[in-house]
Amino acid sequence: MQATLQAKDFKSDLKPIWCPGCGDFGVLSAIQRALAAIGRPPHEIAFVSGIGCSSRIPGYTTAYGFNTIHGRPLPIAQGIKLAKPELLVLAAGGDGDGFSIGGGHVAHVVRRNIDITYIVMDNQIYGLTKGQLSPTSPRGLKSVTSPYGSLEGPINPLLSVLAYGAGYVAQGTPADMAALAKLIEDGIRYPGFAFINVQSPCITYGSVDAQLKQQKAAMQDLRALGHDSSNKLGAYALAEEYGTKLYTGVFYRKPVAEPTMEGLAAERHAMLREKALPKSDILKLFAPA
């Protein structure tokens, strides 16, 4: 039995550099709470991120952290999990990190169903580089790279991850931290790839209209709405409303989880182990016919 862990056991000595009031503070607290509830000690956790304000997050926890490069936390997290499946692996980053530069990786981690929990802090803007358009910014948003309003519509992270076939798709907000912590915990417990989109507003460059106001006013709990999280078509319909309504909770949770790639790899190891030539004999592979 592990000694009971508390959220503070996951709090590192580093002081966050986020702007006071940034939504990411709440995400951090929620993650710390969720990890305490899970009860794995910090040294058994690998927490990987990309680059952006949000991606600073692993350093503020006591887990093994890896603050990598822009857009690439998922490949690195997958390498960790495949190499050492016994670790608890978390990945996190911003909407730009995950759906713009790193967008190509999302489909593939889903398709491999590697047991990683991926948390995107979706502020619908580029925070770290000071207020450029993001792939989730609403059409018409004025930003430093769209001074007359953007010409492009947003990507829908919930819908795309659902469509890729993810087994766990949820959305939360730091405005309801306890619920967010629960979602993260649930995602970690889900035995496969889990995606949690967090509506985490940027109070410095973000759009107050598009996100801040809406967040408080239009927040609706999916369960309260009577949504059954095993209903995939229902999940699609609700996810369609990304950008107009702020639903929180689990959109979809596959009732029977599919095998993970690391699990299948372990089976393959067991199946082929006997066939390994001893190292000293490896040159036998090159014997002429």
Tokens at 17, concatenated: 């550099």
If contact means CB under 5 to 8 A according to the sort of partner, which of ligand SF4, another protein, ligand TPP, none does residue 255 touch?
A: none
97 sits near ligand TPP (criterion: CB under 6 A): yes
Q: What share of the chain is helix, strand, coil (3-state, %, to 5)?
A: 40, 20, 40
Rounded to the nearest whole angstrom, what is the least distance from the CB of residue 126 to ligand TPP in the complex?
Answer: 4
Looking at 156-164, 174-182, 223-231, 277-285, which segment touches another protein (CB under 8 A)?
277-285
Rounded to the nearest whole angstrom, what is the least distance from the CB of residue 217 to another protein in the complex?
Answer: 36
Residue from 58, 65, 127, 174 touching ligand TPP (CB under 6 A): that is 127
Residues of this chain, 12-51, that bind another protein according to CB under 8 A: 14, 41-46, 48, 51
If contact means CB under 5 to 8 A according to the sort of partner, which of another protein, ligand SF4, ligand TPP, none does residue 18 touch?
A: ligand SF4
User: Do the bridges between strand 64-67 and strand 116-122 make them parallel or antiparallel, or are there none, so unpaired?
Assistant: unpaired
If contact means CB under 5 to 8 A according to the sort of partner, which of another protein, ligand SF4, ligand TPP, none does residue 66 touch?
A: another protein
Rounded to the nearest whole angstrom, what is the least distance from the CB of residue 145 to ligand TPP in the complex?
Answer: 10
User: Do the bridges between strand 219-221 and strand 168-172 make them parallel or antiparallel, or are there none, so unpaired?
Assistant: unpaired
Give 93 or 192: the residue with its C-beta nearer to ligand TPP. Answer: 93
Element (H, E) at 200: none
Give 25 or 252: the residue with its C-beta nearer to ligand SF4. Answer: 25
Nearest to 30 by CA among 137, 180, 247: 180
- What angle separates helix 232-239 from helix 157-164, to the nearest 10 degrees? 150
Helix (H, G, I), strand (E, B) or coil at 114: coil
Give 75 or 165: the residue with its C-beta nearer to another protein. Answer: 75
164 sits near another protein (criterion: CB under 8 A): no
DSSP, residue by residue, 219-260: EEETTTTT--TT-HHHHHHHHTTTTT-EEEEEEEE-SSPPPP
Nearest to 25 by CA among 66, 79, 61: 61
Separation of first and last alpha carbons in the chain: 56
75 sits near another protein (criterion: CB under 8 A): yes
157 sits near ligand TPP (criterion: CB under 6 A): no
Residues of this chain, 46-65, that bind ligand TPP according to CB under 6 A: 51-54
Residues in contact with ligand TPP by CB under 6 A are 51-54, 70, 93-97, 121, 123, 126-129, 134
